[in-house]
Amino acid sequence: MKPDLPDVRQTRLDSYVDRYAARTKGMTASEIRALFSVASRPEVVSLAGGMPNIAGLPLDVVSGAVRDLVLDSGPTAMQYGSGQGDPVLREQICDVMRLEGIEAHPDDVVVTVGSQQAVDLVTRVFCDPGDVVICEAPSYVGALGVFRAYQCEVVHVAMDDDGVQPEALEQAIAAVKAAGKKVKFFYTIPNFHNPAGISLSLERRGKVLQICQDQDILILEDNPYGLLGFDGEPMRAIRADDGEGVIYLGSFSKTFAPGFRVGWAVAPHAVREKLVLAQESATLCPPVFSQFAISSYLSRHDWLGQVKQFQEMYRERRDAMLAALTEKMPAATTWTRPAGGFYVWLTLPAGLDAKAMLPRAVTNRVAYVPGTAFFADGFGSQCMRLSYCHPTPARITEGVSRLAAVIEEEFEL
Ligand code: PMP
């Protein structure tokens, strides 16, 4: 007897679809991931990815630290460890945060698998389906993905060149409360925003904190770029002025290397305990080997000196991008002027759509991320994120030039 051949139409469908949990409806591939394969073709200048440029890392020092780690502490470094994270690294993390005015105790630090996992753990601990998270407009695509996966409702609040607008924040909170819903926290990226490229001014930090304190709303302060400013000292963290109402997230991904996957959360004591329980159920413990390697690197190398080199490298790339934009972009195109970090947020002339334009841009060998990726509600079609962190200054100039030509052509169509 001939075996039944599978129905070709059936095999194209996901036959598990009826069995998935309802929350998986919110799990969709980000627009950035979808772009990855196209943008990584060598002929394309990718202004899309936000990958740190780690070419400047002293690989001899890193390899020395890793080698000694294996030889001196191998059995511990390759074993399971504390769910809260290595105590020595937690002390070093407190030293790092002191640069932004934060006085924290190592007991209140939870090491995580990148700050991405910290966003996940905080959301898991605080949010039930239907709870509201307030975010800036636009906001970090990876955090929006987490909020969606936990079935939160995202309410966006407008920003301008000084960061989120306090009046808009107040109005959004009032509207959510009037609708009988709970705001669980306000998620903010105060420094060198991803994707907006702007920072919350010092004056506004005070106002935002006051509003959230008055309304009894937690702040989730996500700060992976804070030490990558191009002018002067790091800005004072919001967490520096409130240890109870702010959960602060940090990361070594941009100041060291993302492949180690080490970030952290600092939270009020009771919340910290819940985060550790959530961490233990998710991963048992953050990667011990990575933590020891970073800890050893921090103690044997001039890490701050290396961060300064990163600042210089990114400043040079930022300058190349701003100069090329000024020279090449058609009138009525506007963009932000970042004082640190990786990103410029560009707004196209009225009537143009960044997502619709992307295939033509890729044909013209330049890629970017359409603005809609950074909104939970379909907004942002006139905008795009441009990253200057990875390509060389010459490639950035070339990429912006190609992009400007695509925009010009779009007018003529
Ligand atoms: N928050 C923001 C604002 C980011 O831009 C990123 C990385 N792009 C993360 C969190 C996550 O970083 P990591 O998990 O590598 O620490």
Torsion of CA 185, 189, 193, 199, to 10 degrees: 110
User: What is the 127 CA–ligand 1 centroid distance (Å)?
Assistant: 20
pLDDT at 31: 66
Torsion of CA 336, 339, 343, 349, to 10 degrees: 10
Neighbour tally for 166: CB within 10 Å: 19
Say what the pTM is.
0.94
Instruction: Output DSSP code: residue 229.
Output: B
Identify residue 167 by its one-letter amino acid code. E
User: What is the 115 CA–ligand 1 centroid distance (Å)?
Assistant: 6
Q: How far apart are CA 196 and CA 345, in angstroms?
A: 5
pLDDT at 32: 67
pLDDT at 1: 47
DSSP sequence for 64-86: HHHHHHHHHHHHHHTS---TT--
Mutate which of 194, 223, 345 for ligand 1? The one with the most ligand atoms within 8 Å of its CB, which is 194
Q: How far apart are CA 35 and CA 31, in angstroms?
A: 6
Strands in 146-235 per DSSP E: 153-160, 163-164, 183-188, 218-222
Q: Name every protein residue with a CB atom under 6 angstroms from any ligand 1 atom.
A: 50, 114-116, 140, 142, 189, 194, 222, 224, 251, 253, 258, 263
pLDDT at 382: 97
Cβ atoms of residues 183 and 134 within 8 Å: yes
Q: Which SS3 state, helix, strand or coil, does residue 221 take?
A: strand
Q: How far apart are CA 58 and CA 62, in angstroms?
A: 6
pLDDT at 5: 52
Q: Sign of the CA dihedral 306, 225, 317, 322?
A: negative
pLDDT at 40: 78
User: What is the 49 CA–ligand 1 centroid distance (Å)?
Assistant: 12
User: What is the 411 CA–ligand 1 centroid distance (Å)?
Assistant: 35
Ranges of the chain with pLDDT below 50: 1, 8-10
Q: How far apart are CA 382 and CA 375, in angstroms?
A: 12
pLDDT at 85: 98
> Mean pLDDT over all residues of the chain?
93
- Helices then strands, counting H and E runs in the chain, come out as 13, 14
Q: Which tokens is 191 given?
A: 């420094």
Q: How far apart are CA 112 and CA 347, in angstroms?
A: 35
pLDDT at 12: 58
Indicate the angle between helix axes 59-77 and 288-300, nearest 10 degrees.
Answer: 130
Closest CA to 36 of 51, 24, 54, 53: 51
Residue 262 CB partners (closer than 8 Å, separation 6+): 89, 111, 112, 113, 114, 251, 252, 253, 286, 287, 290, 291, 294
Q: Which SS3 state, helix, strand or coil, does residue 315 take?
A: helix
Q: Pick the atom of ligand 1 nearest to 140's CA.
A: 3
